[in-house]
C-alpha cells in the first residue's frame, strides 16, 4: 500500500484530523480519566466511545462526558457482542465523517497511556498502520506475573510463525490507522469477536499491502474493573491464524 487510493498525497499526521475509538463494557471507573487525558493532549483530539450497554452505567457516564466536551461522542449498542463488533461499529461511524484522516484505537482501562498517542500518530508520516508494541526495543509491560508474560510472548510467537508476518506484537490493541488503510480492508468480512480481532486486522492490513510501524509502549495492567478474557476468546485466537493464512 503506497498511498491513498486516489493517488493524491497522503495527509500529514494531525490530531485535528484524528478520532480515538474506545470500546467500553463496565469501564466507568477509568473512562473519565482516559477521556480527560486524551482531550488534554496537544491538538484537538476527538474521542468516540462505543458502549455495549454496560450494566454499570458506563454508557450514561459517556453521555455526560459528551455533554461536557464537544470533542466526545458516543455510540450505544444494544448488547454486549464482543470487542471486534464494537470496534467495527466505531470504525464505520468514523469513516462516515469526511473530516477524519486518522483513526486510533485503545483500551478504556488505562492499560494504554494516552500520552503515547502523539508518537503513534507521528509514525503515520511514513506508515499506514502504527502498532503500540510491547515487544520491540524499549517496549515493556508492567504489573504482569511471569505466567501472563510467558503466555503473551508465546501467543505472539505462535501467531507470527503461523501467519509468517514480521511483526512482534500482533495481539496489541493500541493502534493508529490512516483512513485509507482502514478503507482498503473489507470490514464486513471481519468476523472475529474477541481479542483475536487485533490479529485479524493486522493480517488483513498486511494482505492489503499496508506499511506497518511498531512503536514501543509500556502496557500497564488495568487499574480497575475486570479483564474480559475468557476461555472461548482464547480458543478463538488459537484457531484464527490458521483461518487467516489464506490471506497471505
DSSP states along 46-65: EEEEEE---TTSHHHHHHHH
**203-244 pLDDT tens trace:** 999 999 999 999 999 999 866 555 555 555 556 656 777 576
Who has greater pLDDT, 51 or 194? 51
Alpha-carbon torsion angle 50, 115, 39, 107, nearest 10: 10
Average pLDDT of the chain is 90
Residue 120 to residue 225: CA distance in whole angstroms: 26
Q: Is residue 6 part of a domain?
A: no
Who has greater pLDDT, 247 or 114? 114
Against a cut of 0.75, is the pTM above it? yes
The answer to whether the beta carbons of residues 23 and 91 sit under 8 Å apart is no
Question: Can you tell me the mean pLDDT for 152-161?
Answer: 85
Question: Can you tell me the mean pLDDT for 71-100?
Answer: 96
pLDDT at residue 167 above 60? yes
Q: Is residue 115 part of a domain?
A: yes
Closest by CA to 244, choosing from 173, 168, 162, is: 162
Distance of CA 113 to CAs 54, 85, 110, 130, 160, Å?
23, 23, 6, 15, 25
Q: Is residue 241 part of a domain?
A: yes
Half-sphere CA count of 81, side-chain side, radius 13 A: 14
Q: Quick one: pLDDT band at residue 37, thresholds 50, 70, 90?
A: very high
pLDDT at residue 41 above 80? yes
Q: Of 61-75, 180-194, 227-241, which gets the smallest average pLDDT? A: 227-241
Given the C-alpha cell 486516489, which residue does it identify? 6
Who has greater pLDDT, 246 or 58? 58
Residue 44 to residue 72: CA distance in whole angstroms: 11
Residue 204 has phi, psi (to 5 degrees) of: -70, -35
Q: Is residue 152 part of a domain?
A: yes
Q: Is residue 8 part of a domain?
A: no
Q: Give the CATH number for residue 107.
A: 3.90.550.10
Q: Is residue 3 part of a domain?
A: no
pLDDT at residue 25 above 90? yes
Residue 66 to residue 32: CA distance in whole angstroms: 11
Residue 157 to residue 167: CA distance in whole angstroms: 9
Q: Is residue 224 part of a domain?
A: yes
The range of the structural domain enclosing residue 228 comes to 15-247
Q: Quick one: pLDDT band at residue 195, thresholds 50, 70, 90?
A: confident
pLDDT at residue 180 above 60? yes
Q: Quick one: pLDDT band at residue 162, thresholds 50, 70, 90?
A: confident
pLDDT at residue 168 above 90? yes
150: buried, middle or exposed (CB in 10 Å: 19+, 13-18, 0-12)?
exposed
Who has greater pLDDT, 226 or 110? 110
The per-residue pLDDT for 148 is 82
Question: Can you tell me the mean pLDDT for 19-36?
Answer: 97
Q: Is residue 9 part of a domain?
A: no
Domain count, the chain: 1
Residue 202 to residue 198: CA distance in whole angstroms: 6
Amino acid at each position: 500500500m503506497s498511498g491513498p487510493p486516489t493517488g493524491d498525497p497522503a495527509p500529514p499526521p494531525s490530531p485535528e484530523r484524528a478520532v480515538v475509538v474506545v470500546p467500553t463494557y463496565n469501564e466507568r471507573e477509568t473512562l473519565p480519566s482516559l477521556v480527560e487525558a486524551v482531550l488534554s493532549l496537544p491538538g484537538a483530539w476527538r474521542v468516540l466511545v462505543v458502549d455495549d450497554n454496560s450494566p454499570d452505567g458506563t454508557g450514561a457516564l459517556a453521555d455526560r462526558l459528551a455533554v461536557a466536551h464537544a470533542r466526545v461522542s458516543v455510540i450505544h449498542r444494544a448488547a454486549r457482542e464482543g470487542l471486534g463488533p464494537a470496534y467495527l461499529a466505531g470504525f464505520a461511524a468514523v469513516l462516515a465523517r469526511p473530516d477524519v484522516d486518522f483513526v486510533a484505537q485503545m483500551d478504556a482501562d488505562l492499560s494504554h497511556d494516552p500520552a503515547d498517542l502523539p508518537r503513534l500518530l507521528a509514525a503515520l508520516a511514513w506508515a499506514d498502520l502504527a502498532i503500540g508494541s510491547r515487544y520491540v526495543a524499549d517496549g515493556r509491560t508492567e504489573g504482569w506475573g511471569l505466567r501472563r508474560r510467558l503466555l503473551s510472548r508465546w501467543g505472539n510467537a505462535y501467531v507470527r510463525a503461523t501467519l509468517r508476518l514480521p511483526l512482534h506484537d500482533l495481539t496489541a490493541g493500541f493502534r493508529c490507522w490512516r483512513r485509507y488503510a482502514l478503507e482498503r480492508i473489507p470490514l464486513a468480512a471481519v468476523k472475529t469477536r474477541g481479542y483475536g480481532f487485533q490479529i485479524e486486522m493486522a493480517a488483513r492490513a498486511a494482505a492489503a499491502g499496508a506499511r506497518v510501524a511498531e512503536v514501543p509502549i509500556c502496557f500497564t495492567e488495568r487499574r480497575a474493573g475486570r479483564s474480559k478474557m475468557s476461555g472461548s476468546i482464547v480458543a478463538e485466537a488459537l484457531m484464527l491464524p490458521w483461518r487467516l493464512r489464506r490471506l497471505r
